[in-house]
Structure 1
């Protein structure tokens, strides 16, 4: 009888130890998801305005988190760009807006809030072109005949639309401050051109010399304004 009681006691101790071990193996951890608005500025365009005399530009960026991994995103900007080529000098002035979404493919640990994302945008630009100087190609220049030039003509009411694929990174560096960069690949969809001229530079899309495709970069600093939070219970194996 004593052996049976000893066996039952040992079994209870063993089961108690296994139960305690199981409780240590699985623990609940609470992960907080913050939702809100992030606003910032493109440092590339801003700094370029200081070191490049023929360029002035400003772009404001923003996104709003609507789900765990999805963000509504938009950019709005203004550009004033003069292109000076050997036979052509023109100035483009205009504004643009891009809207779309980002998908965050990065799984953050606990309270981290970094983004590695891909997204899509649709861009619209309204602008004007001023033909400052244009030299007409002349096959008879060797005869001493001077080429004809035209200048001062302005084309207003121009517009363009395009689609963009975006890939980028946004990293939280301090409290609610983020720095990031993105690469953009653009495809021109519509392009209202002036008569007897072409839109060689489109605000928000950039140069169009090489056809309907273009690329762009931006470097941003932004501030996150939290609006509300959600909590998610996560099981962590030890």
Structure 2
């Protein structure tokens, strides 16, 4: 009787184990190979209008961004904006302004829990360029024999740089996002003048620096249309 009972229990355990193995084999492994975002996401960098709080001079501007998910987790990005810098000091009155554009992509590192999870932590690369002008409305050079004053007319220039980006975008309401990014900017090419030297590049920052750090904080809205259909 004991042998029969032991045999019956062993058979039941074997059947249960085989059933669990079969169930596990039927369950597909969770992957992140689906499209999270069907539409086009439009962003506004609200930190561009507050740069004077942490940058030298009266610096302000505006920037728009556009991105979409081309293939799972890969987002082509277009960023374009305008910036102006005005510096009034004891010996110089300098201004610079212009437009800039960045092209690149972001790659989402975050593993989504489900297909409608659009939160992302990303790394990205950008190529940036600008078209700008500068003007020295007045300068003063103190001199024993008398101060020297003068001005420089408008000068047009441009620059190119590469950017490395680390950031996140989180959905706070349906199709509405908040996000921030930390940017490292490496200057590639710069048009300059003998007098005066270019001091500021819109979209890049201080022109005399080969490498700049920057921070951005943006709001986004995903235009909910499926262009893949």
Q: TM-score, normalised by structure 2?
A: 0.81
Structure 2, unaligned runs of 5 or more: none
Structure number with the higher strand fraction is 1
Equivalent residue number for residue 225 of structure 1: 223
Equivalent residue number for residue 149 of structure 2: 149
The answer as to 2:119 corresponding to 1:114 is yes
Q: CA RMSD in A?
A: 3.2
Equivalent residue number for residue 205 of structure 1: 204
Structure 1, unaligned runs of 5 or more: 231-238
Report runs of 4+ in structure 1 exceeding 6 Å deviation. 2-9
Deviates more, 1:39-48 or 1:161-170: 39-48
Q: Secondary structure at the match of 1:33?
A: coil
The answer as to 2:20 corresponding to 1:21 is yes
In the alignment, is the contact (CA less than 8 A) between 1:34 and 1:227 conserved in 2? no
Equivalent residue number for residue 172 of structure 1: 171
Please identify the structure whose Cα radius of gyration is greater: 1
Deviation of the 1:78 alpha carbon: 0.7
Report the number of matched residues: 221
Q: TM-score, normalised by structure 1?
A: 0.78
Structure number with higher relative contact order (C-alpha < 8 Å, ≥ 6 residues apart):
1
In the alignment, is the contact (CA less than 8 A) between 1:208 and 1:214 conserved in 2? no
Deviation of the 1:161 alpha carbon: 0.9
Equivalent residue number for residue 235 of structure 1: none
In the alignment, is the contact (CA less than 8 A) between 2:102 and 2:128 conserved in 1? yes
Q: Secondary structure at the match of 1:17?
A: helix
Query: What is the rounded CA distance, in whole Å, between the counterparts of 1:14 and 1:216 in structure 2?
Result: 62
Deviation of the 1:215 alpha carbon: 1.5
